[in-house]
Chains A and B, each alone.
Chain A
Amino acid sequence: MNVSTIHDIGYRHYEGKRLGRAYVTRSIFVHNLRAAYGLGRPARAKVMPFVLAGIMLLPAVGDIAVVAIAKRPEALFPYTRYQFMLQLIISIFVATQAPVLASREIRFHTVPLYFSRPVVHLDLVLAKLAAFTTALFALTAIPITVLYVGGLVTQVPDSGTQLLHYLGGLLACLLLSLVLGAIGLLVAAFTPRRGFGVAAVIAVLLVSSVLVSVVQEITQHAGHWTLSGWLGLLTPYSLVDAVAYRLLGGKLPDIAVPGVGGGFAALGVCAVIVAGAVVVLYSRFRKAGLS
């Protein structure tokens, strides 16, 4: 044996396992989920998501403190309404983080590297949407979980109803995350410059919210309550609120679509948004893969 050759072992071929499509898709999911919170990236990429996640928690913590100290269980926030109250924070999170997942790899021409490997186009899009949905779900579900646990600890009455409402709240969080994730990725994928992407997502989410609530006020003054309820389907937060109220036993929002049918209509709109976004994102990434 020649000892001096031990240092440079030269090139070694890889003889080990090569895993399949499920593993690759899971890896894309994990990579994008980490990216959504700036993990694996410089510290400044972590600031925004974690600050926003912290802000999301503050009202819940404060509310629990009020319930505990003032002994007023009725002061506990309704679970399904929490995301509606904090929609500004959620919108900012969507706006700043959607470009990280959707437009970063298009802008830097990284997409072709995926498709020159055994990565399936649709898998990439679905994994990205799933990752962003999960990131948003964590952002919205953790505060209401804090509310629920806080309610248990401070012995808010009717723990059975509370549990049902909490589960309904979780479903509402999931639905909102899915809808916002789809809209956010869609808008960001067509605005390759990050700054524009942030602005475009903010515009779509906030402007639609403000516009719709203004028009809703006007129609309510004119006495068109039903029309006002239907208008709520035009902005993601009221849309999900309608589903939560009509189908998930959530708390009554200011105004909502009439009846269970309206709830299903709202759910249908959610499905169309998500499916449409997947189709468009699919063709967008397919095209980016050839550049």
Chain B
Amino acid sequence: MPPIIATRGLSMRFPRVTALDDLTLAAPPGVVGLVGANGAGKSTLIKILLGLLPPSSGGAEVLGLDIARQGDEIRRLVGFMPEYECLPPDVSATEFVVHMARMCGLPPTAARERAADTLRHVGLYEERYRPIGGYSTGMRQRVKLAQALVHDPRLVFLDEPTNGLDPAGRDEMLGLIRRIGHEFGISVLVTSHLLGELERICDHVVVIDGGRLLRSQAVEAYTEASGVLVVEVDEGRDDLGRWLHERGAAVHPEGRQLMIDIGDETVYDLVRDGSAELGLRLVRMEQRRHHIEELFATAPHSAPVAVEPGAFGGPGASGEELRGGAR
């Protein structure tokens, strides 16, 4: 399948900061997550992809259209939900979304029908006739999402859609985004500074930091099985650990569990024999999976991932913050 978004050496330099630095990536159709700390260049990238901001150098294509020459075509085919508040408080959601549909060229009747349908899909019902000024944050986010979807785009850019939502609201929003990608058949580029939430809904995740590409790959690749075996026994964790260590296994404790490097198949037999010999109750034995958030882990004991040290050394870009949304 051709990529929905492809960039080549994209750079964006402002007088004092470099927002994007030689960014080359390709994102397949589906739900694509764009992760990075605040200030990593996510919003700038979206503005460039919308053709609103000409890049300093490099180029990009959205849905196979060139951002420099076919910006108008692109803006016909995509929807955009900004990160910031963008709703006038004194009109109703219906009035506003109908207007935005007409701005995409939908005739009056179609605009009204699509607005009603879309507001229903995002979960706004009777309240859509009241002025937006009285809405909760969750309802506002839904209106913002509805205006991005109302003209039935082929691709939507969702900039931090879970910002400011409580956990329940965040879950609903994430569910909605997954439905947009998989049921509505609209490709999604969703940004977040929280990895955990993107891991749950994305097919593909792009990680950028300081305007540079850290990784771009399918979400399974981040979570593939690691070479570590997790073993949990009811009691006598240390006994088993010592027993395994004496027989040459590379093992270390972590919480209530033992982490054992899988050198070859015999490790499984060793654990079985050790548990039997020491008379321990084996609760769990599984191959550990990676989490995307490990990308940002800096502690040396965590599972190895291919990130150069100090990759997240920039100001405000702490691994702690990025892991915050993980569950």
A-side residues, CB < 8 A to B, are 10-14, 16-20, 23-24, 27-28, 31, 40-42, 45, 104-105, 108-110, 112-119, 289-291
Contact = CB atoms under 8 A, between A and B. Distances in A.
26 contacts: A10-B183, A11-B184, A13-B152, A14-B106, A14-B114, A16-B110, A17-B107, A18-B106, A18-B151, A24-B103, A24-B104, A31-B102, A104-B88, A110-B86, A112-B52, A112-B86, A113-B80, A113-B103, A113-B147, A115-B52, A117-B75, A117-B100, A118-B105, A119-B103, A289-B52, A290-B53
B324 to A, nearest CB: 26
B280 interface: no
Interface-centre pick from B85, B103, B117 (highest chain A CB count, 10 A): B103
Contacts of A110: 86-88
A24 B105 contact: yes
B103 A45 contact: no
A13 B147 CA distance: 15
Given A16-B106, A18-B151, 19 more contacts: A10-B183, A13-B185, A14-B151, A17-B107, A24-B105, A28-B103, A40-B91, A42-B131, A105-B88, A110-B87, A112-B52, A112-B86, A113-B100, A114-B103, A115-B52, A116-B75, A117-B75, A117-B100, A118-B105
Contact of A23 (B53, B88, B100, B105): B105
Contacts, number: 100
B170 interface: no
Interface string B69-109: 00010011010101011111111000100011011111100
Given A24-B105, A118-B104, A108 B50 contact: no
A123 to B, nearest CB: 11
B88 to A, nearest CB: 5
Contact of B104 (A105, A117, A289): A117
Contact of A18 (B76, B80, B147): B76
A12 B185 CA distance: 10
A27 B103 CA distance: 7
Contacts of A14: 106, 110, 114, 151-152
A27 B102 contact: yes
Contacts of A289: 52
Nearest to B133: A42
B147 A118 contact: no
Contact of A108 (B86, B100, B102, B121): B86
A16 to B, nearest CB: 5
Contacts of A108: 85-89
B47 interface: yes
Query: Which 7 A-B residue pairs are closest in the complex by CB-CB distance?
Result: A14-B152, A116-B80, A18-B105, A27-B102, A11-B184, A19-B105, A109-B86
Contact of B90 (A20, A42, A118, A290): A42
A116 B114 contact: no
